[in-house]
């Protein structure tokens, strides 16, 4: 089985969980190298997803671990809203262009 086929068959949730496990490993090699490899695989998989799905993942996975009063949370909220609404914005822009 090729690496790309494995990436496409592995769920996003499984890759996220694997990277979390590796990032907290007591083994420095696993923590650094393993995390970087899985992060690369996760990036490949995320690149295949539409913006709305990436926005949903940010909402489901990122918001839960952020400090609600941090500037990072504000940035993630804005990015998530844009991603979740990107298809409706594109349709609205396209509809306006057609008028």
- pLDDT number for residue 50: 92
Pair (59, 90) in one structural domain: yes
Residue 64 is inside which H or E element, if any? Answer: none
SS3 assignment, position 66: coil
Pair (30, 67) in one structural domain: no
- pLDDT number for residue 93: 47
Pair (15, 42) in one structural domain: yes
**Structure pTM?**
0.69
Chain segment 8-58, per-residue pLDDT in tens: 678 999 999 999 999 999 999 999 999 999 999 999 999 999 998 998 898
Residue 98, exposed/middle/buried by CB under 10 A (0-12, 13-18, 19+)? exposed
Chain segment 77-95, per-residue pLDDT in tens: 898 888 888 865 455 445 5
- pLDDT number for residue 92: 46
Residue 38, exposed/middle/buried by CB under 10 A (0-12, 13-18, 19+)? buried
Pair (54, 34) in one structural domain: no
State the average pLDDT over residues 58-67.
85
Residue 34: give the domain boundaries.
1-48
> CA 72, 34, 60 angle in degrees (round to 5)?
35
**66 Cβ contact partners less than 8 Å away, ≥ 6 residues apart:** 72, 73, 76
């Amino acid at each position: 089985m090729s690496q790309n086929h494995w990436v496409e068959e592995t769920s996003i949730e499984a890759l996220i969980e694997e990277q979390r496990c590796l990032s907290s490993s007591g083994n420095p090699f696993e923590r650094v190298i393993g995390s970087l490899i899985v992060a690369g695989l996760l990036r490949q998989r995320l690149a295949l997803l539409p913006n709305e799905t990436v926005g949903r993942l940010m909402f489901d996975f990122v918001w839960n671990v952020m400090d609600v009063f941090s500037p990072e949370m504000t940035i993630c909220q804005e990015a998530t809203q844009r991603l979740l609404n990107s298809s409706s914005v594109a349709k609205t822009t396209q509809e306006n262009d057609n008028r």
